[in-house]
Structure 1
């Protein structure tokens, strides 16, 4: 890695005219563009929605609570920058996610940015938590919902190309046991959060080439470790970082002039996923097949 970095630095110095300082690339502007941020009535999602609106974007705010969603829209409206609309959906229901995706697809022909941020963490539950579909709840909300949105909204993202999908994941990772994906075996539920987050990373790696061929860059990102969010407070773990730190990391990627499709970003740079299963192409293909089967939404 050090050799590669030195080589890059030398190539730049040789290419630059003498006496000319490096001019950093201007960040992308979202003025006049449309962005969907899931889970944006609180925490990181809320801060991302406000930041995008401040840059002039029209933000589709999502959450379950209409009052909190409207509060975010009202704050953006009062700012006089950008615009926003709230659309409610309960991501614990796959049918609700599909209907939400169809609503967005039907009303927004072009979508410049999708941030799959909505998530839950269940840390101390005595047993497995299930969705209304009977699936493990974290796998549905944190992962399958993002699968549905990315694939159902791909035509809209392609219409706005070059566009982006940012999957908010985590360095928390547990390998998928394909014989017990829904964590029905004793004590398996403790793997739920890490499994859902690794699934996001694996999906990103597997789908990114097909998305890139259609002008859509997909990446996954670890925003910050244990931010001071409602979710982290709810699981009883001391916060280590702030929502503002996570926001800045994600917005740095949202507005970056170039990204590496399929990469998992940590601290603003591509990093190795935190479980070796992510590098198993057969496991990734198996996950993609399972995701399409469970959701009724095929991949690209």
Structure 2
């Protein structure tokens, strides 16, 4: 049974996992909206998809800048009146060394890019996702998870790149669980996943320098959440590759989720509509 044409937005599409998702979905009917930070890389990506079956659009934004995240959210409705799938794939790894960095908005950089940007983008695009009913939100997270220290959520003390990365992915997963409860699963599903372990991507090469799984494993895991008919109406889950599993226990704690949600709305300036 073939899948009806869909409108799919993939963030971080110019390298690694996002690039391969772009290549594969370009070969299928539908509308593919590809996000990137670098206009030259975006142009080269599109040039490489010259034989695409899908209609291709591009959007640019640096997700370390909340103003640009808002501009991205404003740009998407000029390209489509509905979204079938939002893949929050863009992110940064632990980096080299343990040098704390901040976003344009003065927020810890990994928390800003890996969590707050997709948080703000998803909430801003809910009207388009509702119009794409049934729609799916897929958060590309990680098995590397560390609870947010609410006494020092921006890691101004005892900073490490690995903790910052793991904390940002924890926040993405925990608030994803919370959002799933706010949305009717028959209209919009929200799921997170660990796609694979240390795939051969630029982010892994910079931060870890070694690989375990191949890229195809991660792509198949993400495509499972996007495509599988068995996941229709399945929401508020965490997957390791293609299997439902538990995230870190604290991520399932409703009070932790609520606290992170309130902080995320405060930091991002974007609130759940209604």
Aligned partners of 1:212 and 1:218 also within 8 Å: no
Aligned partners of 1:40 and 1:61 also within 8 Å: yes
1:1-12 maps to which residues of 2 (within 5 A)? Answer: none
Deviation at 1:144, TM superposition (A): 0.5
1:186 is aligned to 158
2:72 is aligned to 100
2:242 is aligned to 268
2:21 is aligned to 48
Deviation at 1:220, TM superposition (A): 0.4
Which of 148, 155, 169 is matched with 2:120 structurally? 148
1:290 is aligned to 263
Give the distance between the partners of 2:92 and 2:13, measured in 1 at CA.
13
Give me the CA root mean square deviation.
Answer: 1.5
2:145 is aligned to 173
Q: 1:91 is paired with a residue of what secondary structure?
A: coil
Give the distance between the partners of 2:241 and 2:185, measured in 1 at CA.
27
Deviation at 1:231, TM superposition (A): 0.7
Give the distance between the partners of 1:212 and 1:52, measured in 2 at CA.
27
1:159 is aligned to 131
Deviation at 1:190, TM superposition (A): 4.0
1:58 is aligned to 31
Question: Tell me, which stretches of 5 or more residues in structure 1 are unaligned?
Answer: 1-25
**TM-score, scaled relative to structure 1:** 0.86
1:127-142 maps to which residues of 2 (within 5 A)? Answer: 127-142=99-114
Which stretch shows the higher mean deviation, 130-139 or 245-254?
Answer: 245-254
Give the distance between the partners of 2:169 and 2:240, measured in 1 at CA.
14
1:198 is aligned to 170
Give the distance between the partners of 1:295 and 1:217, measured in 2 at CA.
22
1:67 is aligned to 40
Aligned partners of 2:95 and 2:161 also within 8 Å: no
Which of 151, 169, 183 is matched with 1:211 structurally? 183
Aligned partners of 1:111 and 1:160 also within 8 Å: yes
Query: Deviations along 1:131-187, whole A, 9 cap, x unmatched?
Result: 111101010111101101110000100001001100000000011111111100133
Deviation at 1:189, TM superposition (A): 4.8
Query: Deviations along 1:93-113, whole A, 9 cap, x unmatched?
Result: 011101111111343210111
1:9-48 maps to which residues of 2 (within 5 A)? Answer: 26=1, 29=3, 31=5, 33-48=6-21
Aligned partners of 1:30 and 1:52 also within 8 Å: no
Q: 1:79 is paired with a residue of what secondary structure?
A: coil
Distance 1:189 1:223, change over 3 A: closer
Report the structure number with the largest CA radius of gyration.
Answer: 1
Which stretch shows the higher mean deviation, 40-49 or 212-221?
Answer: 212-221
Q: 1:258 is paired with a residue of what secondary structure?
A: helix
Question: Tell me, which stretches of 5 or more residues in structure 2 are unaligned?
Answer: none
Aligned partners of 1:225 and 1:240 also within 8 Å: yes
Aligned partners of 1:228 and 1:242 also within 8 Å: yes
